[in-house]
Amino acid sequence: MSIKVRYFASLKESIGRSNDHLEITGLATVADVWRYANPNKALPDNSLAAVNMDYVELNSAVKDGDEVAFFPPVTGG
């Protein structure tokens, strides 16, 4: 399965990269993608995720060709 992973804002800074391209088998959810791409780093609390530019829950399914994005909560004023 081919998955593109993108990181934004403070997540990008803390991880030290803006994206990953994963070629893997056996993934089922967005949370699995995070764990595979960042095995030694927990996803920070309140982080948001999107699959193909739609907000999703961490237990949402992923499939071949999906783009998964992770970013911190958005605040505004």
Q: Residue 47 has what pLDDT?
A: 94
Query: What's the half-sphere exposure (Cβ side, CA atoms, 13 Å) at 5?
Result: 24
* Mean predicted lDDT score pLDDT of the chain: 93
Q: Is the pLDDT of residue 1 over 80?
A: yes
Topology of the domain comprising 2-71: Ubiquitin-like (UB roll) (3.10.20)
Q: How far is the CA of 58 from the CAs of 47, 48, 76, 77, in angstroms? A: 10, 8, 23, 27
pLDDT, tens digit, 9 for 90 and up, residues 27-60 = 789 999 999 999 999 999 899 999 999 999 999 9
Q: Residue 28 has what pLDDT?
A: 86
The share of the chain scoring above pLDDT 70, in percent, equals: 96
Q: How far is the CA of 76 from the CAs of 43, 45, 73, in angstroms? A: 22, 18, 10
Q: How many CB atoms lie within 10 A of CB 23?
A: 7
